[in-house]
Chains A and B, each alone.
Chain A
Amino acid sequence: MLYKTISKDNFRKMLEGLMENNEVMGPRWRDRDAQGNKIYRFLKLNNFDELELDYTRTYSSPKNFFLPFKENLATYKLGDSDWEQDIHYTIHPRVIVGMRACDINALRKLDEVMLKSVYPNPYYSARRENTIIIGLDHEPLEDCFCRSMGADVALRGFDLFLTDIGDKYFVAIGSDTGYRILNQYDAQDVTEDDQLEFKRAKQEIESKFKTQVDVTIVPELMDLEFESEVWEKWGDKCLSCGSCAMVCPTCYCYGTEEEVDLTFTHATKSRCLYSCNLLDFAMVAGGHNFRPDSHIRLKYRYYHQFRGFVEAFNQSLCVGCNRCGVACLAGINPKDVIDDLITTEKL
């Protein structure tokens, strides 16, 4: 990989240049929570000053730029007895700036399913291939456990990735597009001092991880503790609201819906993000529900994150951002649930 540095001034100019020519999304603050902390969200940037590069965490993840909550899959022109299907992929070039390593790694996990396995998803790839990603390192939050999930360092999946080393950024270059953009803004070769600063910055980040989740035997535990009371303990609290899956950077399950317009001349098929915690996730005709209880559904959310995906792709789906824990009104979070599973005999 190629590395360069860019001064903070030039970085600003670069983003301003990008904003002039493209839609640029970045973390902005929208509101304050009850404690007065800022609530952030990835939104369109109109000028550089709106960008909050030292944001803590966006409530919702940037996955929705690739997997929108609702997306049109096909439209139909309906005739008297005939119909015509039309499929159109949304090509909407964009830059996303300020993505954290965990969110970039989350995208790479989605890539495994959406691009690299059977039936590559053209809707996703139309968006993924037309998005420039500029990532940025940050100091971990109290409850981030991305380090335990091996998702705290992004090595691929971005165009540029920045680490703050004082008055400039140390930049890892992940694509030729990134390289060309960067070089228009007087990027410098990495000096020995820059390297030292980079190491120091990385060590500083590493030293600040507070939350750890021991996931070494979690895939086995998911099986062995399948009947554990831990699931009921947490699952009975679950409101089956699905918020966890909506904010999660890796949850990707969905449902399809078909609608006819009022004139009966057009129909659409759309895809809506869903959650395996919702009551009718596995309900089939005749009313049979393969997962009737909230604790069974909660268990399967964890089972997919920590075992199913491991079996398929040799890595957990979870990247440890704890967005689900923050969003959950019932106080359910992966660290507590997994800790409980590990120490289940103490119940």
Chain B
Amino acid sequence: MSLKIPHHDINLEPTMAKAPDFNRKSERMQTERSFKSEIIAAIPLTAQEKLFHLRICDQAERENFSFLPGQFVMLELPGCGEIAISISGSSSNHEFLELCVREVGTVTGLLHRLEAGAFVGIRGPFGTHFPMRKMKGHNILLIAGGLGIAPLRSPIYWANEHRTDYEDITILYGARDPGQILFDYQFDEWRKIYDLKLLTIVEHPDEDWNGHVGMITDLFDDVPVDPDNTFAIVCGPPVMFKFVCSYLSDLGLPRQRMFVSLERRMHCGMGKCCRCNVGSTFTCLDGPVFDYWTVMNLQEAI
């Protein structure tokens, strides 16, 4: 690897017309105010996962709501509970939010029983985001394991909406079995219209499956990675991103150019309840998106 220190030219980044301080988080606000939102569609994807389209009811609240890929919201079912969910839709969609939710417990269980027309609450957006602007001029490698594809859809939409900003875009997506593959109805569009390369792999194939079989890292045999010109976004269970990130690191990809999203228990999203504490920081404030160097240096992160 060359010893020339890589530089990041902030001149290339557009300066923002308004402060990037979403929701004015340093000003006093009604921190527990939930934006009432209508479920305008509840779409079953697999046996466990549903995609929800939520439209914030109040026009002003809806227009003020903006997020960047990788951020999450706190989704509230009044009287039941509140949970953290990554935003899975496009950040340019100001009409409704897309959330992909797996049914695993109390709140997600009730949510899955709600139909279009029901009202839920959302607070946010919270957390850090994938540095899409920084990635300008580079290849982007998006790697998802299982439900990890949900938070990746946001950067995928972004990349398409800013397609000329990026060179090659590659998605590697691994699932346990073919029945668990999410968003396959979009794959053709992504390949043809978004002009990106998409490879899928499953661990346990069924009779109809004729794609790759194995672990996500097996896909690297078919994907050349240019370590000097690539940013990676890796979402999935910790074991998976640990494997993937060490593999990429061995290829020479700097760890501060790999981004992962951590998951912890969350009760506030604002750095107050400490439940998402990891090492010396909070996942909801300094994360959920961390670069891999930071993750490696946080105690108990992986």
Q: Mark A278-311, 1 if CB is under 8 A from B, else 0.
A: 0001111110001100000000100110011001
CA distance A268 to B117 in the complex (A): 23
Inter-subunit contact B281/A256 (CB<8 Å): no
Inter-subunit contact A285/B105 (CB<8 Å): yes
Residues of chain B lying within 8 A (CB to CB) of residue A258: 76-82
CA distance A255 to B276 in the complex (A): 11
Inter-subunit contact A304/B274 (CB<8 Å): yes
CA distance A122 to B273 in the complex (A): 14
In-complex Cβ contact of B264 among A81, A82, A223, A290 (8 A): A290
Does B32 touch A at the CB level, under 8 Å? yes
CA distance A249 to B67 in the complex (A): 36
Residues of chain A lying within 8 A (CB to CB) of residue B121: 85
Does B277 touch A at the CB level, under 8 Å? yes
Please, which residue of chain B has its CB at the minimum distance from the CB of A269?
B32
CA distance A304 to B282 in the complex (A): 11
Residues of chain B lying within 8 A (CB to CB) of residue A74: 32, 34
> In the complex, how many angstroms separate the beta carbon of A255 from the nearest chain B beta carbon?
5
Inter-subunit contact A252/B280 (CB<8 Å): no
Inter-subunit contact A121/B30 (CB<8 Å): no
CA distance A74 to B77 in the complex (A): 13
In-complex Cβ contact of B281 among A276, A300, A311 (8 A): A311
Inter-subunit contact B104/A286 (CB<8 Å): yes
CA distance A122 to B29 in the complex (A): 7
Inter-subunit contact A121/B82 (CB<8 Å): no
Residues of chain B lying within 8 A (CB to CB) of residue A254: 267-268, 272-274
Inter-subunit contact A87/B32 (CB<8 Å): yes
Inter-subunit contact B79/A76 (CB<8 Å): yes
> In the complex, how many angstroms separate the beta carbon of A328 from the nearest chain B beta carbon?
20
In-complex Cβ contact of A307 among B29, B82, B265, B280 (8 A): B280
Does B200 touch A at the CB level, under 8 Å? no
Does B133 touch A at the CB level, under 8 Å? no
Does B137 touch A at the CB level, under 8 Å? no
Inter-subunit contact B277/A260 (CB<8 Å): no
Inter-subunit contact B78/A78 (CB<8 Å): yes
> In the complex, how many angstroms separate the beta carbon of B297 from the nearest chain A beta carbon?
9
In-complex Cβ contact of A85 among B34, B80, B105, B281 (8 A): B34
Inter-subunit contact B32/A73 (CB<8 Å): yes
Inter-subunit contact A119/B25 (CB<8 Å): yes
CA distance A156 to B31 in the complex (A): 27
Does A117 touch B at the CB level, under 8 Å? yes
Instruction: Report which residue of B25, B30, B271, B272 has the largest number of chain A beta carbons within 10 angstroms of its beta carbon.
Output: B272
Residues of chain A lying within 8 A (CB to CB) of residue B263: 284
CA distance A226 to B300 in the complex (A): 10
Inter-subunit contact B264/A121 (CB<8 Å): no
Residues of chain B lying within 8 A (CB to CB) of residue A85: 33-34, 36, 78, 121
> In the complex, how many angstroms separate the beta carbon of B244 from the nearest chain A beta carbon?
20
Does A43 touch B at the CB level, under 8 Å? no
Does A118 touch B at the CB level, under 8 Å? yes
Known A258-B80, A307-B280; contact A282-B275, beta-carbon cutoff 8 A = yes
In-complex Cβ contact of B118 among A81, A223, A260, A308 (8 A): A81
Q: How many residues of B contact A (CB 8 A)?
A: 44
CA distance A122 to B268 in the complex (A): 14
Residues of chain B lying within 8 A (CB to CB) of residue A78: 78-79
Please, which residue of chain A has its CB at the minimum distance from the CB of B30?
A87
In-complex Cβ contact of A118 among B80, B271, B277 (8 A): B271
Please, which residue of chain A has its CB at the minimum distance from the CB of B74?
A256
Secondary structure dominating the interface of A: mixed
Does A83 touch B at the CB level, under 8 Å? yes
Residues of chain A lying within 8 A (CB to CB) of residue B300: 290-291
Does B210 touch A at the CB level, under 8 Å? no
Instruction: Report which residue of B26, B30, B267 has the largest number of chain A beta carbons within 10 angstroms of its beta carbon.
Output: B267
Residues of chain B lying within 8 A (CB to CB) of residue A223: 299
Inter-subunit contact A253/B280 (CB<8 Å): no
Does A120 touch B at the CB level, under 8 Å? yes
> In the complex, how many angstroms separate the beta carbon of B86 from the nearest chain A beta carbon?
14
Known A83-B36, A118-B270; contact A253-B275, beta-carbon cutoff 8 A = yes
Please, which residue of chain B has its CB at the minimum distance from the CB of A83?
B78
Residues of chain A lying within 8 A (CB to CB) of residue B113: none
Please, which residue of chain B has its CB at the minimum distance from the CB of A255?
B267
Please, which residue of chain A has its CB at the minimum distance from the CB of B21?
A118
The B-contacting residues of A in range 197-246, CB under 8 angstroms, are 223, 226
Does B71 touch A at the CB level, under 8 Å? no
CA distance A77 to B138 in the complex (A): 51
In-complex Cβ contact of A259 among B79, B104, B285 (8 A): B79
> In the complex, how many angstroms separate the beta carbon of A282 from the nearest chain B beta carbon?
6
Does B108 touch A at the CB level, under 8 Å? yes
Q: Mark A119-132, 1 if CB is under 8 A from B, else 0.
A: 11110010000000
The B-contacting residues of A in range 297-330, CB under 8 angstroms, are 300, 303-304, 307-308, 311-312
Inter-subunit contact B26/A120 (CB<8 Å): yes
> In the complex, how many angstroms separate the beta carbon of B291 from the nearest chain A beta carbon?
17
Does A332 touch B at the CB level, under 8 Å? no
Please, which residue of chain A has its CB at the minimum distance from the CB of B301?
A290
Residues of chain A lying within 8 A (CB to CB) of residue B79: 76, 78, 258-260, 267-268
CA distance A312 to B158 in the complex (A): 32
> In the complex, how many angstroms separate the beta carbon of A32 from the nearest chain B beta carbon?
35
Please, which residue of chain A has its CB at the minimum distance from the CB of B77?
A258
Inter-subunit contact B82/A119 (CB<8 Å): no
Q: Which residues of A contact B (CB under 8 A)?
A: 73-74, 76, 78, 81-83, 85, 87, 113-114, 117-122, 125, 223, 226, 252-256, 258-260, 267-269, 271, 274, 276, 281-286, 290-291, 300, 303-304, 307-308, 311-312
Known: A255-B273, A260-B79, A285-B104. 15 other contacts (CB 8 A): A113-B272, A119-B25, A119-B272, A253-B273, A253-B277, A254-B272, A256-B81, A256-B273, A258-B81, A260-B80, A269-B82, A282-B265, A285-B105, A304-B277, A304-B280
